[in-house]
Structure 1
Amino acid sequence: MNGVGFDGMVLLALHIFSGAALGAAFYVLVKTQPYLVKRSYDPRYNAVYIARFITGVIGGVILATALGPALKQALEAVPGIALSSSGVLAILGGYAAEAVESIMQRIVEVMLATIRGDGSDQAQAKMTATQADTRAAVENILPDLRDASGDPAKVQAAIQRIRTVLKNS
């Protein structure tokens, strides 16, 4: 907002809010139109439509303000796309509040993975422990297999126990 005075900031905020409201209202109207045409609109769902409108306005404002700078930069790099205006992003966010939610959820997942790590160390440790347990279980059966060298039934039983251990690991 360098070089933008207070009036410019208020105008931009109004622009973004209006765009978000326009996108959200368009979504609600498109979704309710079939019910109105068929005369099957049920007023019991009014709260759902109002909640979706409010969610859309919030989503549009978030998309245009919080996520807008990154999206503008990405969209300006694509030839033939002129969707980088804050108002246009607000309209899109108002219409597609679920998309804004998905973007935000993905950002949170990336942040958590950065903080916690990707879990590969934990997975590797678990796999190593499982392999050690399996090896110990097989090694416990090997003496029975050596002792049963003359008895085919005992050999088969020991081999079956080894197969079971390997299957369960």
Structure 2
Amino acid sequence: MTLPTITPAQAKALLDEGARLIDIRDADEHRRQSIPGAANMPLSALEPVSGHPAVIWHCRSGMRTAANADRLAAVSDCPGYLLEGGIDGWRSAGLPVKTDAKAPLEIMRQVQMIAGLLILAGVALSLTVAQGFVALSAFVGAGLFMAGATGWCGMARLLGLMPWNRRAA
């Protein structure tokens, strides 16, 4: 079963009638930027949703919700919809978005930035200092491949332990 896509204006009208808005992004993404009133239920922790006139699912751009529409429909006992354009579409429509500028960047963005920096450093050092530094780029590339193949990313785990990524108790 596929879920229909609705515009941010249609979603706002449904929310005003009591629909539930659920953000399927990871907690770190939701913490940094969210639609006021949206509940956070990451894809990895989906739970049954019932007792609402409707449920509206959203992510950042709409791609994750579209790719997982069947899973989202399966956990909802009420009419379900996908928010067109995700939180980006919501913001573009001029609707309110809550931003916490003090929250760290999402872990995967941190991984992408550090991996890119390490690869560039490995290439630059191999060209200017010693050819052996190309191994740094190869190591990072192999780690990215393994993360994609297995779904487990050691760099993300390590970054999650860093002080700037830990929530204050």
TM range (shorter): under 0.3
Structure with bigger gyration radius: 1
TM-score normalised by structure 1 residue count: 0.25
Structure with greater strand percent: 2
